[in-house]
Structure 1
Amino acid sequence: MVAYQEFVSLSQSLVSEERGSAAHLSALAYLNHFGPADEHAALYAALIGFLDDPSVKVRAALAYGLLHSGEAPRPIMLALLHDSAIIARAVIQYSPVLIDADLIGLVKTLDLSMLIAVGQRTVLSPRLAGAIVARGQGAVTLRLLRRLDVALGDVLLTELSHSLADKAEMRGALLARRDLPAAARLHLVQKVTEALRGARIVKGALAPERLGRLLRDSSDTALSAIGEREAVQAKAGYVSDLIGSDKVNTRVLLHAVVTGHVMFFADCLAELAQTPRGKVFTLLESGSRAALNALFIRCGLGEGVRNLLARLVLHARTSDLADDAGARHFVVTALTEELIAEHDGVIPEDLEEAFAYLSEQNIVLARKAARGVMAAFAMEAAAPMALPSPKDERRLALPAA
């Protein structure tokens, strides 16, 4: 305990460190006071008095005592917010007493160091975060995007995904956020694809044709994977936007099934056919071929594509297309051979796109399936297939070139 006379002596001392001790003690006493109201009022008056102390050390000691408390007096914290820079930065970053209305007006005029301090507050509302982003300071915006605990809102994230899409570091921070809207995520994936296509190291490593196929396949996978996640969360806006912008075609529908994104496939059919999602699921799980064809007719698909999708659905019912590369390779091979046999090797024009896709996938999936088979074979046959170690360890000396 500090006696009252000792406290008075400290608070009136000519030494700033002693007055700072008195200010800090006053702050702690105020926050932990449980006595009569007049005592509390006297402590409050003492705090007010320390605001006028000419030493920044004293005012800093006062701020430090009140900084992290939600019970600190608002008038005192607002006064300290407009104090010297070192005190104001601490108050604006840590004080829970300050609310959005106190900060949003200030954010428009703060310097960079103060703006960073606001962005590091423990709790940031979407409104305050939007005001910080509106300052257009890239470093601060990047810090904010990397704070996954701060909700930025769909509107702001969508705007940022378009305005910052050409900056790789910003793209990475946006794509790392789980709350990024699906349409914004797809837009950023397309920007990444464009950046990869133009990168010298990528262009130099792959032939143009192969690079185009690889990037197109990756883009289709991203599109359907995003759609699958949206379908799991029962969000319909993504699929309707895709259809409205003509991004859903035969290739996308085939790719969704082949990669095991069946919920996205079902959502696409439900939106195209204007049919309840539950009914589409029932038809895909157990509907006859005639019923599937009727569904595809409602989707506006041509006869050749309808028959191809019906066959694919029937194959998918008995195969694990999501995780088994061998099963996917088998299904794609079967569909390709059926098309060739049915049309005597002359593929109709309306199926050329689908056939080209199946042929591409056949090569890709054959490689994946072969890698899986060889790895499993190598593990099983490790002992008998081991090569004997050479008995003669002498090395041949090659002549100089």
Structure 2
Amino acid sequence: MVEYSEFVRLSRSTDSDERGHAAHLAALAYLDHDGPADEHAALYAALIGFLDDPSVKVRAALAYGLLHSTEAPRPIIMALLQDSPIISRAILQYSPLLIDADLLSAIRKGDASIWLAIAQRTKISVRIAAALIDHGDDEIALLLLRRSDITIEPALLIDLARDHGTVAKWRGALLSRTDLPAPARLILVQRVAEALRETRIVRGALTADRLNRLLRDGADTAVSTIGEAEACHRRRDFVQDLVGSSQLNSRILLHAVVTGHVMFFASCIAELADVTRDKVFSLLENGSRAALSALFLRAGLAGELGKVLVRLVLHARTADLADDIAARHYVVTALTEELIADFEGAIPPELEETFAYLSEQNIALARRAARGVMKAFSEMTQSAMSLAALQGAPRLQLPAA
């Protein structure tokens, strides 16, 4: 306990450390006060008096005492906000009394140090986050992106992905966010594919054709995977954006079925045909061949492509394409053989791209399905491998080089 006479002596001392001690005591006493009103008023007057102290140490001690409290007098906090930079930055970073209007004003008038102080606040609203990011300071924007507790508008995240997706640290910060909207995620996947294509070690390890196939297949898988997640949450924006930007093509539709992303496929057909997704899903599950043909015709998938999709859907009903690689391989193989048989090897021009896709998938799925088969078989059997005996004269053995 400090008597009032001692407090008065400290507050009038020529030593700035003693005045700072008095300012800090006054702040704590004011916040914890539960006595008479006139005593509270006297403490308030003392706090105001310390605002005019010539020493920044005294005003900083006052700010430190009031900094984290919701009970601090707002006029004093606002006065300290306009004090020296070291005090104003502390107020901006810690004071819970500041509202968005105060922070927005500071952002407009401040510099990078002010923006950084605000970006480190415990709670930041959507408006403040957008205002800070709009100022174009990369480090502050990345700091905000890496904070999972801050909500950022979906449209702003999409703009950031479009503007900065070519930079690895931006891609990492954006992709780590669980609230990243699907269009932004797709943009970043495309940027990753472009970056891999230009990476020297990747280009040196794969031929150009194989690299293009791998990246295209990966991009298709990313589109259908993102679309499946959006469809499961019954969000239509992603598919609408694909259709509106002409990014939805027959290859993606085929890939969606082959990879078992049926909800995404149903959403795409529903958007193209302008019917409800539930109706499309019902037809995909139980509709007749004629009903499926009519659905795809309404969706603008007429001709041979529509017939291929009908066959693919009918095959998919008998297999678990979402998790079973061998089932995918079987379905693609069966469909490929049917097309070869129907057209006697002369695939029509309108199906050349579709047939090429199925052939690519057939190879890729065969490789994936074969991985580990021999190892698993060898662990299950004890019999020796049956090999034919060598016939004829022994081969010439060349010396080692």
* Fold-level similarity (TM above 0.5): yes
**Counterparts of 2:291 and 2:278 in 1: how far apart (Å)?**
15
- The aligned runs of 1:48-127 (5 Å cut-off) are 48-127=48-127
Residues 299 and 375 (structure 1 numbering): CA distance in 2 closer, same or farther, change over 3 Å? farther
CA distance in structure 1 between the aligned counterparts of 2:379 and 2:264, rounded to whole angstroms: 36
- Counting aligned pairs with the same residue, the percent is 64
1:37 & 1:364 partners in 2: Cα distance? 81
Map of 1:221-260 to 2, 5 A cutoff?
A: 221-260=221-260
In the aligned structure 2, how far is the partner of 1:313 from the partner of 1:54?
Answer: 81
* Cα deviation, residue 372, structure 1: 4.2
Equivalent residue runs for 1:165-180 within 5 Å: 165-180=165-180
Write the distance in 2 (CA, Å) between the matches of 1:172 and 1:231: 25
Determine helix, strand or coil for the equivalent of 1:108: helix
Q: CA deviation at 1:135?
A: 1.6
Structure 2: runs of 5 or more not aligned: 385-400
Matches within 5 A, 1:1-400: 1-374=1-374, 376-377=376-377
Deviation at 1:239, TM superposition (A): 0.9
Structure 1 residue 39 displacement after superposition: 2.3
Q: How big is each residue's C-alpha offset from its partner over 1:75-95, in whole Å with a ceiling of 9 and x where there is no partner? A: 111111122222222111111
Q: Match for 2:258: what amino acid?
A: V
Cα deviation code 1:290-321 (max 9, x no counterpart): 21111111111123222221222122222221
Q: Secondary structure at the match of 1:152?
A: coil
Q: Counterpart amino acid of 1:202? A: V
| Partners of 1:62 and 1:190 in 2: CA distance | 53
Aligned equivalents of 2:259, 2:292: Cα separation in 1: 20
Q: Quote how far apart the aligned CAs of 1:40 are.
A: 2.0
User: Offset of 1:384 from its aligned partner?
Assistant: 9.3
Inter-CA distance 14–375: structure 2 relative to 1 (3 Å threshold)? farther
**Quick check: 285-294 or 205-214, which moved more?**
285-294
Aligned-pair distance for 1:360? Answer: 0.5
In 1: Cα distance, 2:41 partner to 2:310 partner: 80
Q: Taking structure 2 as the reference length, what is the TM-score of the superposition?
A: 0.91
Distance 1:184 1:62 in 2: 46
CA distance in 2, matches of 1:86, 1:274: 60
Q: Contact 2:106–2:114 at 8 Å: present in 1 too?
A: no
Separation in 2, partners of 1:276, 1:379: 50
Superposed CA deviations along residues 37-66 of structure 1, whole A, max 9, x for unmatched, are 322222211111111222222211211111
Equivalent-residue separation in structure 2 for 1:56 and 1:189 (angstroms)? 52
CA distance in 2, matches of 1:379, 1:176: 40
Measured in 2, the distance between the counterparts of 1:110 and 1:154 equals 26
CA distance, structure 2, for counterparts of residue 76 and residue 378 of structure 1: 80
Distance 2:61 2:273 in 1: 69
